Structure 1
Amino acid sequence: MNIKIRPAGAGDVWALARLIEEIERYYGATEIQPFDERRSQVEQALFGSPPLASALLVEDGRGDIVGMAAYSFLWPAAGSSHSLFLKELYVRDSLRRQGVGIALMRKLHGIAEERPGCSRLEWMTDRENEGARSFYRELGFAEFDGKIVYRLETGAGVIREPAHSVSA
């Protein structure tokens, strides 16, 4: 297998927008964002001012984008340090179980190690995603049960007042 892992560049926006559609379908989405809107959001997220995220791409021997790892740095982590947070790790089905995911994780670890003040690499996966959980266990990572994830979609309304309101 001949692959190359490299940072995303501005010329990759179109291919990344296509790959994100593939990822959405993989996770079961039935409504897919229009391509031009998705492409614009990829461009803004990775190459806007300031960029919101970074991405490593997996390129096959033909030059096609067949996987990615999207990440950001979060602060604070331990004390006043920061962490590299992996938001999405995806490898096309035809290349799974061939070492591509491991290569991406190693590359991410190297990025975290080289960045001054970065104390850790963190990520999460859905409890129902047994394939991902098995992959991480095979790499020797233990699951951490200390956090509960909350989510508020934008445009979903307002945050209500608690019964015992505290003034800000």
Structure 2
Amino acid sequence: MQHLVVRHAEPSDAKTVAGMIEEIERYYGATSIQPFNERLTQVEAALFGTPPLAYCVLALSGDEMLGLAAYSFLWPAAGSTHSLFIKELYVRPDGRRLGTGTRLMREIQAIAAAAPGCSRVEWMTDRDNDGARAFYQGLGFEEFEGKVNYRVGFDIPEPLG
């Protein structure tokens, strides 16, 4: 494997990120996938709009994307501080067990530590995702008990115009 580079996504990465989102959806068992052009439009708006809704760190070996970590800042966290919330950490099968996920997590921690007023990094994983849980435990992270997650979905309305 070539040298691993970890960096923030740039506008020229939007198509690759949109493609990776399909791969992530399939990994989690989705059978209905949003059309590529819709996905691309949403990636561009989310990551590169003004203001951006989210941020994305990529792990690359040469021209090949091996993984990504998508995150946003949430407020409030402890007191009036904010937290960095990792929405998605995904490493392609050919990037696993090579330190890719560890590099992404370390980069996320560095971003949070450098953000004034950021007091912590938070994320979730599925209880039945033994591989992810072992990965996080191997990095020394403890599971946090006590929160119950809720979700409500709705169809995204068509743009006005």
Tell me the TM-score normalized by structure 1. Answer: 0.89
Q: Deviations over 1:109-167 (max 9, x none)?
A: 000111110000110001111111110011111111111100000249xxxxxxxxxxx
The equivalences for 1:42-61 within 5 A come to 42-61=43-62
Name the counterpart of 2:24: 23
Classify the secondary structure of the residue corresponding to 1:102: helix
Instruction: Tell me how far apart the structure 2 counterparts of residues 34 and 11 of structure 1 sit (CA, whole Å).
Output: 19
- Quote the offset at 1:58 in angstroms: 1.1
Task: Calculate the aligned-residue CA RMSD, in Å.
Answer: 1.2
Name the counterpart of 1:113: 113
Change (3 A) 1:155 1:32: closer
- Work out the number of aligned pairs and report it: 155
- Quote the offset at 1:34 in angstroms: 0.4
The equivalences for 1:1-168 within 5 A come to 1=1, 2-61=3-62, 63-155=63-155
Instruction: Tell me how far apart the structure 2 counterparts of residues 100 and 14 of structure 1 sit (CA, whole Å).
Output: 21
Unaligned runs of 5+ in 1: 157-168
Instruction: Tell me how far apart the structure 1 counterparts of residues 21 and 144 of structure 2 sit (CA, whole Å).
Output: 27
Instruction: Tell me how far apart the structure 2 counterparts of residues 133 and 99 of structure 1 sit (CA, whole Å).
Output: 16
Classify the secondary structure of the residue corresponding to 1:23: helix
Asked if the contact 1:54/1:70 (under 8 Å) is kept, the reply is yes
Instruction: Tell me how far apart the structure 2 counterparts of residues 122 and 83 of structure 1 sit (CA, whole Å).
Output: 7
After the TM superposition, which parts of structure 1 deviate over 4 Å for at least 4 consecutive aligned residues? Answer: none
Unaligned runs of 5+ in 2: 157-161
Asked if the contact 1:19/1:66 (under 8 Å) is kept, the reply is no
Instruction: Tell me how far apart the structure 1 counterparts of residues 155 and 100 of structure 2 sit (CA, whole Å).
Output: 37
Instruction: Tell me how far apart the structure 2 counterparts of residues 122 and 26 of structure 1 sit (CA, whole Å).
Output: 22
- Quote the offset at 1:65 in angstroms: 1.8
Q: Deviations over 1:85-120 (max 9, x none)?
A: 000001110110111101111111000111110000
- Quote the offset at 1:70 in angstroms: 0.2
